[in-house]
């Protein structure tokens, strides 16, 4: 075990001598900590510090991870989809991520809107509602297909990519839950 692993590091400073214009790097004898106990990985947070938009949690002030928030949404959607549509919903949910990665979020949503089948409409509604829950910038928008498409068309590329990533993450959980719930027969 490295005996210096837990010792603070010396801070490297650059001093400029105004008389000769040369820079000299020196080790500052004042030691600084490289990270604090509350931040185990600088620049990365493991938990959301915002209150959960889906409520709940084990206690007041206990943050849920993003995956917990997504799983909670996906569990409700998967239960509803399997209860109402069985294997039809399951098959659509399992194919949706590949369709999004191959065609994009908007074409995939347009495909489900055009299918006119109830399981496709349910999955589309679940995606739109889930994205409304997870992305604060679209909470003020209507939860219907035309309004959501207009939002995506007018959004910045970073917002569109975030919506695509959130849709894929939500579908990851829905896929797992529809498998767990069965969905071998229509209700």
> pLDDT tens digit string along 30-45?
444 443 344 343 333 4
CB-based contacts of 163: which residues, under 8 Å, 6+ apart?
105, 131, 135, 138, 152, 155
Higher pLDDT, residue 77 or 183: 77
Q: Are 160 and 113 within 8 A, CB to CB?
A: no
CA-to-CA separations, 141 to 1, 34, 45, 85, 147, in angstroms, rounded: 55, 43, 28, 28, 7
> In this structure, is residue 11 part of a structural domain?
no
> Domain range spanning residue 116?
66-181
> pLDDT tens digit string along 77-94?
999 999 999 999 999 999
pLDDT (mean) for 171-184:
86
> In this structure, is residue 75 part of a structural domain?
yes
State pTM to two decimals.
0.64
pLDDT at 170: 95
> In this structure, is residue 166 part of a structural domain?
yes
- Residue of 77, 109, 65, 98 whose CA lies nearest to 183: 77
Which CATH number fits the domain that encloses residue 90?
1.10.520.30
> In this structure, is residue 52 part of a structural domain?
no
Pairing, β 23-32 against β 9-16? antiparallel
Number of domains in the chain: 1
> In this structure, is residue 151 part of a structural domain?
yes
> In this structure, is residue 4 part of a structural domain?
no
Angle between helices 105-115 and 118-134 (to 10 degrees): 140
Task: Compute the distance between CA of residue 126 and CA of residue 166 in angstroms, rounded to an integer.
Answer: 12
> pLDDT tens digit string along 86-134?
999 999 999 999 999 999 999 999 999 999 899 999 999 999 999 988 8
> In this structure, is residue 22 part of a structural domain?
no
Under the banding of pLDDT at 50, 70 and 90, the label for residue 48 is very low
pLDDT of residue 57 exceeding 50, the answer is no
Under the banding of pLDDT at 50, 70 and 90, the label for residue 138 is confident
Taking the CA atoms of 163, 127, 184 and 91 in sequence, report the sign of the dihedral they define.
negative
> In this structure, is residue 149 part of a structural domain?
yes
pLDDT (mean) for 4-14:
49
């Amino acid at each position: 075990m490295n005996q210096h692993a837990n010792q603070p590091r010396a801070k490297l400073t650059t001093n400029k001598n105004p008389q000769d214009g040369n820079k000299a790097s020196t080790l500052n004898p004042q030691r600084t900590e490289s990270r604090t106990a509350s931040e185990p990985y600088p620049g990365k947070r493991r938990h959301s510090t915002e209150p959960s938009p889906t409520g709940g949690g084990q206690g007041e002030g206990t943050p849920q991870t993003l995956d917990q928030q997504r799983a909670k949404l996906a569990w409700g959607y998967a239960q509803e989809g399997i209860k109402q549509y069985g294997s039809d919903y399951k098959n659509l949910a399992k194919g949706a991520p590949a369709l999004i990665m191959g065609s994009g979020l908007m074409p995939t949503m347009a495909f489900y809107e055009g299918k006119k089948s109830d399981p496709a409409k349910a999955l589309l509604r679940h995606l739109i509602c889930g994205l409304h829950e997870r992305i604060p910038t679209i909470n003020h928008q209507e939860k219907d297909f035309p309004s959501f498409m207009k939002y995506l068309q007018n959004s910045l590329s970073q917002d569109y990519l975030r919506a695509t990533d959130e849709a894929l993450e939500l579908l990851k959980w829905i896929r797992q839950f529809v498998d767990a719930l069965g969905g071998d027969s229509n209700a």
